[in-house]
Amino acid sequence: MTYYQFIDDEGQTYGSFEAFEVEAWEQHSTGFEPGWYWQACFPGCMPDGEPMGPFKSEHDAIDDARQ
């Protein structure tokens, strides 16, 4: 897992989200399809909402989170 900050229309950062990958062997235990996901949260805190994804790459997940 890696944490990033959201960026508003003016280029200012705020909040944070994590980007993480679910691999094929994890699909059964997580219930998520393989791929990259993002989820709003702060390090050390419980996530805020459900993960968004899957995306083909970490870059695609980060781009989606910042839109």
The structural domains of the chain, with segments of one domain joined by +, span 2-65
Q: How is residue 53 annotated by DSSP?
A: E
The pTM score is 0.85
Q: For residues 34 and 8, what is the distance between their CA atoms, to the nearest angstrom? A: 29
Half-sphere CA count of 58, side-chain side, radius 13 A? 10
For residue range 21-44, what is the model confidence (pLDDT) as tens digits? 999 999 989 899 999 999 999 888
Residue with tokens 């909402």: 49
DSSP string, 2-25: EEEEEE-TTS-EEEEEEEEEE-GG
Q: What are φ and ψ of residue 36, in 5° steps?
A: -100, 145
Whether 53 has a pLDDT exceeding 90, the answer reads: yes
State residue 2's pLDDT score. Answer: 85
